[in-house]
């Protein structure tokens, strides 16, 4: 019996893993490494520096819906290739920073470019290649986000310590060009049909026209965008994915200085950042699997609840050793949020308007993340520590849990349920 070849979709997953590594490791995990060097060189306060990441997150989020439209029209590969070239150039331009407004402007351009190689195009691409195993495929690919924090961010930290932050931005730009652009050009294919394949490497559909039509319609069933946007459940979910990322990014983007301010050494704080990101990879895989068997609102209860517990450890357990318990608990549960965003669209609203609705949820993620990042900086500048911020973020997680329970159970069918859209 001939040996079966590995389904090409898994090569697409591996390529998406590396793109997510660049998207996260260079895009936002490394940012907290630059806060103190930039503060030292220019004398800007932390709120002003933190606003840069807020701008980055807002622009990246607002780019989501139009990016989804471009992907539908031109295909993921074209969009990803152009965005990778632009992202590399933008990283290099950051190294030329002389003023705060220039810093803000280039980071805004960087956000739009990096978004084009991140979660939305990756999820859309893998949804073309996988049906039954879509959750597993997306989960594995998005582990690249954690790998970016675990592998690339510490490397950027070493380069920054040895050669300065400007050199580090040049290196990140070159890495995106040397790794991202060739991978997109050589490996990415928009649809399995380009290689004579079907999603999940399934055999050709049944020759019975009625059966074939039913199978095809199943892949395009679900709510229309208009119906979803008019539903109460969608806006409760939108709110939950605004509050949870607000808390997550408010902590993550300040984690290195936050831990140093409570007495942890710079080296240990950087190591804890790497550990948080690395454990997040396990969280992405774990929550992807759990979501297939648990009621979705209980999955979010576990994801958001563990993060609230981790912040409580930082607030009320003074022992420095607890930092490592925090990093493991927060990192694992933090990893679930980015996986749950594409999965929640499929669970509640189906695939009919998957790309657009994911883009809208991505806007919530961006607004929340931007607000949290900036609020942490403002609170630190006003009070001299992050304690009040941690309290507020703990409450935000609890409200996000309540919103999901108010949204109710997923419904596989909406007011309009089947048929292809153009």
Q: What is the pLDDT of residues 25-81, one digit of tens each?
A: 777 778 878 888 888 888 888 878 878 887 887 888 888 888 887 887 788 899 999
Q: Looking at the domain assignment, is residue 30 inside a domain?
A: yes
Q: Looking at the domain assignment, is residue 5 inside a domain?
A: no
CATH of the domain at 232: 1.20.1250.20
Per-residue pLDDT, 252: 85
Per-residue pLDDT, 318: 67
Whole-number Å distance between alpha carbons of 258 and 208: 62
Per-residue pLDDT, 342: 84
Model confidence at 377: pLDDT above 90: no
Coil/strand/helix, residue 95? coil
* Neighbour-count burial for 220-250, b at 16+ CB within 10 Å, e otherwise: bbbbbbebbeebebbebbbbbbbbbbbbbbb
pTM of this prediction exceeds 0.85 = no
Q: Looking at the domain assignment, is residue 201 inside a domain?
A: no
Q: Looking at the domain assignment, is residue 422 inside a domain?
A: no
Per-residue pLDDT, 18: 93
Band of residue 136 on the pLDDT scale cut at 50, 70, 90: confident
Q: What percent of the chain has pLDDT over 70?
A: 91
Whole-number Å distance between alpha carbons of 111 and 62: 10
Per-residue pLDDT, 185: 92
Q: What is each CA distance from 285 to 136, 144, 158, in whole angstroms?
A: 7, 11, 29
Q: Looking at the domain assignment, is residue 421 inside a domain?
A: no
Q: Which residue has the higher pLDDT, 406 or 281?
A: 406
Average pLDDT over residues 186-209: 76
- In the chain, how many domains are there? 1
Per-residue pLDDT, 211: 41
Cβ(369)–Cβ(246) below 8 Å: yes
Model confidence at 213: pLDDT above 50: no
Q: Looking at the domain assignment, is residue 212 inside a domain?
A: no
Per-residue pLDDT, 417: 46
Mean pLDDT of the chain: 83
Whole-number Å distance between alpha carbons of 79 and 75: 7
Q: What is each CA distance from 162 to 168, 194, 230, 303, in whole angstroms?
A: 9, 46, 53, 37
Band of residue 1 on the pLDDT scale cut at 50, 70, 90: very low
Per-residue pLDDT, 272: 81
Average pLDDT over residues 196-210: 65
In angstroms and rounded to an integer, the radius of gyration of the C-alpha atoms of the chain is 21
Band of residue 209 on the pLDDT scale cut at 50, 70, 90: very low
Q: Give per-residue pLDDT as tens, 336-359.
A: 888 888 888 877 887 677 778 888
| Lookup: tokens for 145 | 């986000």
Q: Looking at the domain assignment, is residue 202 inside a domain?
A: no
Range of the domain at 315: 12-194+218-407
Model confidence at 317: pLDDT above 70: yes
Per-residue pLDDT, 418: 44
| Lookup: tokens for 44 | 């800007």
Residues 6+ apart with CB under 8 A from 77: 184, 188, 189, 190
Q: Which residue has the higher pLDDT, 414 or 272?
A: 272
Band of residue 161 on the pLDDT scale cut at 50, 70, 90: confident
Average pLDDT over residues 82-94: 94
Whole-number Å distance between alpha carbons of 27 and 110: 8
The label of the residue with tokens 């500048």 reads 381
Per-residue pLDDT, 394: 95
Q: What is each CA distance from 381 to 57, 384, 386, in whole angstroms?
A: 21, 6, 9
Q: Give per-residue pLDDT as tens, 44-54.
A: 888 788 788 87
Band of residue 103 on the pLDDT scale cut at 50, 70, 90: very high
Model confidence at 332: pLDDT above 80: yes
**Backbone torsion region of residue 204, taken as left when φ is above 0, otherwise alpha when ψ lies between -120 and 50, otherwise beta:** beta
Per-residue pLDDT, 214: 45
Lowest mean pLDDT among 1-10, 47-56, 301-310, 400-409: 1-10
Q: Nearest CA to 120 among 72, 88, 172? A: 72
Lowest mean pLDDT among 51-60, 112-121, 160-169: 51-60
Per-residue pLDDT, 123: 86
Q: Looking at the domain assignment, is residue 414 inside a domain?
A: no
Q: Give per-residue pLDDT as tens, 229-283.
A: 889 999 999 999 999 999 998 998 788 888 887 777 777 887 887 788 778 788 8
């Amino acid at each position: 019996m001939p040996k079966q070849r590995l389904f090409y979709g898994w090569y697409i997953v591996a390529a998406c893993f590396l793109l997510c590594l660049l998207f996260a490791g260079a895009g936002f995990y490394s940012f907290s490494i630059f806060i103190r060097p930039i503060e030292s060189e220019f004398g800007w306060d932390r709120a002003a520096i933190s606003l840069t990441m807020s701008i980055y997150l807002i622009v990246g989020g607002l780019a989501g819906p139009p990016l989804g439209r471009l992907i539908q029209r031109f295909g993921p590969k074209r969009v990803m290739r152009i965005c990778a070239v632009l992202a590399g150039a933008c990283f290099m331009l950051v190294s030329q920073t002389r003023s705060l407004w220039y810093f803000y402007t280039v980071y805004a351009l960087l956000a739009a470019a990096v978004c084009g190689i991140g979660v939305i195009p990756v999820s859309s691409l893998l949804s073309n290649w996988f049906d039954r195993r879509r959750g597993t495929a997306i989960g594995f690919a998005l582990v690249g986000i954690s790998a970016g924090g675990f592998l690339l961010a510490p490397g950027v930290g070493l380069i920054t310590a040895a050669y300065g932050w400007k050199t580090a931005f040049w290196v990140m730009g070159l890495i995106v060009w040397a790794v991202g652009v060739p991978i997109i050009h050589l490996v990415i294919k928009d649809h399995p049909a380009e290689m004579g394949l079907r999603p999940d490497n399934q055999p050709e559909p049944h020759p019975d026209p009625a059966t074939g039509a039913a199978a095809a319609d199943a892949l395009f069933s679900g709510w229309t965008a208009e119906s979803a946007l008019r539903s109460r459940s969608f806006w409760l979910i939108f709110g939950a994915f605004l509050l949870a990322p607000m808390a997550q990014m408010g902590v993550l983007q300040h984690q290195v200085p936050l831990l140093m301010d409570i007495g942890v050494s710079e080296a240990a704080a950087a190591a804890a950042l790497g550990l948080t990101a690395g454990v997040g990879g396990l969280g992405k895989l774990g929550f992807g699997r759990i979501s297939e068997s648990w009621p979705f609102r209980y999955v979010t209860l576990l994801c958001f609840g563990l993060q609230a517990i981790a912040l409580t450890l930082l607030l009320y357990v003074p022992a420095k050793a607890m930092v490592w318990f925090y990093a493991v608990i927060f990192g694992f549960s933090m990893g679930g949020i980015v996986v749950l965003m594409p999965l929640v669209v499929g669970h509640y609203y189906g695939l009919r308007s998957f790309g657009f609705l994911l883009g809208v949820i991505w806007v919530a993620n961006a607004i929340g993340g931007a607000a949290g990042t900036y609020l942490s900086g403002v609170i630190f500048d006003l009070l001299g520590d992050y304690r009040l911020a941690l309290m507020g973020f703990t409450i935000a997680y609890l409200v996000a849990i309540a919103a999901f329970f108010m949204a109710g159970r997923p419904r596989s069918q909406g007011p309009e349920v089947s048929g292809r859209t153009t």
